[in-house]
Amino acid sequence: MIIRTWLLRIFGVVLVMWTPFVAQAQNTVNSSTWDAGNSGVSALWIFANISYAGMRAQNHAGAFWRVIAFIFGFPGTLLTLILVEEGSERAYGIDLPRRGNDEESVN
């Protein structure tokens, strides 16, 4: 738990340090170069990260889709690999829905 706290702090510091560089790079990019194709790639990256975090937190057995999500979401999925415990039902502080293991059933 202490290691996880330190990793989150280090990630926060790195994120804060990179913010001015990203802002400057965004200002230098010509607005005509950003198109819908780039938005689609960003969406794929975000969805791959979310999907990999969910599969890891819910201990999903399918290796094929987990590898595909890891590749398309890299390097964000590398951070997920470090921070999200396998089978913990929690990803980044969010409780995920259970997979039907609950004793409660609606009749």
Give pLDDT tens digits for 29-61: 555 555 555 677 788 888 888 888 888 888 888
Give CA separation, 94 vs 9, 43, 53, 60, 105, in Å.
18, 20, 11, 17, 23
Instruction: Pick the more confident residue, 102 or 76.
Output: 76
The model's pTM:
0.57
Single-letter amino acid code for the residue at 43: A
- For residue 22 the two structure tokens come to 């990203």
- Reduced to 3 states (helix: H, G, I; strand: E, B; else coil), residue 67 is helix
Domain extent listing, the chain: 38-93
pLDDT of residue 105: 44
